[in-house]
Structure 1
Amino acid sequence: MSYEEETVDGKPFYVTYTALEGEADYTHFIEVPEDHYPIPPRLDIDPWEEAEKAKHAAKGAFVCVLMPCTKVDAAGTRTGRGGGWYDQFLSVVPAAWMRVCICFEDQFSTEALERKAWDQPVDRIGVVNRSTNTVTWHETHSRSSDFDLVSL
């Protein structure tokens, strides 16, 4: 099955986040359809339960997981708020799901971050310019998957 056959109107099914203070907001440059799975902006939710809910909601479609960070490097290593929530979530969703980190320019590191054994790398990074709300995309090729042709 081709990418186009797995999507609706050539767009992936999105798993989204609500940007909290200090996190980049993707809504200015990614048009997310009403049919998506929003991860609630709470720390008390179980990542494994959310992964199961997201898998059920995606119904086998090509999925793009959008996630925030506090820092991310060009190789796709990201850090969050320190609890490992997204690492746990990503460890149990299908490997074919595209992982996209959205960050501000000052959160994108040209120097490698330390990647621990449990860290789940991202496939694409959207770097947002705070003053213009424009985004520059970076492909990481960190998981041997080529998502270059995927249109967000």
Structure 2
Amino acid sequence: MGARLRGDDDGDLSENSEINVTPFIDVMLVLLIIFMIAAPLSTVDIPVELPVAVAEAPDRPSDPVFITITEELDLSVGETSTTHDRLFIDVGIATRQKRDTRIFIRADKSVPYGEFIRVMNILRADGFLKVGLVGLDENVADAPAPDPQSDP
């Protein structure tokens, strides 16, 4: 807001109802420059190689429920082959609709991460929140595979 002096008002001040946007534009340009400089600095890609887990395995339940994702992205619950659309039904049957049952996911190491998360989202949407991941023990993974031709 400002005041203007007019020659015909006998020295009376009148209000100016126009908004001065120049300071607003100046502030916005300064903020734009700050964000243009700061945004690339906050997104840094750091390559990371994750270590092998050597923690003790928890006690295994007597009748575990396994979901298996094969290299060809086929799904199975236990020994029963299934699809993404039927996954929640087959898991419900295997767990007898007990939502607190721990479910173990076995996935081939070539399975894309997005496919794994898709299965996790289906389980979460159906209320299964206790999910365990199955992997090889470090000692077992490093051991050579037995030769099927050799005689024990």
Instruction: Please state which band the TM-score falls in when normalised by the shorter chain.
Output: 0.3 to 0.5
Counting strand residues as a fraction of each chain, which structure ranks higher?
1
TM norm structure 1: 0.34
TM score, norm. by length of structure 2: 0.34
- Tell me which of the two structures has the higher relative contact order, counting C-alpha pairs closer than 8 angstroms and 6 or more residues apart: 1
Larger Rg: 2
